[in-house]
Amino acid sequence: MIRTARDFGALVRERRKGLGWTQTELASRSGTGERFIVDLESGKPSCQLEKALIVARTVGLEIGDVKAAAPSLPEGVDDLDFLPTFGDRR
């Protein structure tokens, strides 16, 4: 399951390499800069969402893929347990 910017970047990197593309080639194909691809693949949390989604589509990822590829969670584990909580979880 994709839970962090680093997880998302790793998935993009894996797909890019599977396609045999360099970071420069992916940047060109997705209309972004190479620096953006480097930051995205390294998990920089401040990357722009719209550009990140364009890059994901360029390597064949759809947001539905992110959830569908995730293994089932063990019983009693909340899908959002990784998020910080404040106060009484409201």
The reported pLDDT for the residue numbered 4 is 82
* pTM (predicted TM-score): 0.67
The reported pLDDT for the residue numbered 72 is 57
Instruction: Map out the domains of the chain as residue ranges.
Output: 5-68
Sign of CA dihedral 66, 6, 41, 49: positive
What digits encode the pLDDT tens for the residues 43-69? 998 878 888 888 989 999 877 655 544
Residue 14 to residue 12: CA distance in whole angstroms: 5
5-68 adopts what CATH topology?
Answer: 434 Repressor (Amino-terminal Domain) (1.10.260)
Backbone phi, then psi, for 81, in 5-degree steps? -60, -20
The reported pLDDT for the residue numbered 70 is 47
- C-alpha distances (whole Å) from 81 to each of 14, 57, 61 are 26, 28, 25
| Residue 56 CB burial class (10 angstroms; 0-12, 13-18, ≥19) | buried
CA-based nearest residue to 36, from 1, 2, 5: 5
Gyration radius (Cα) of the chain, Å? 15
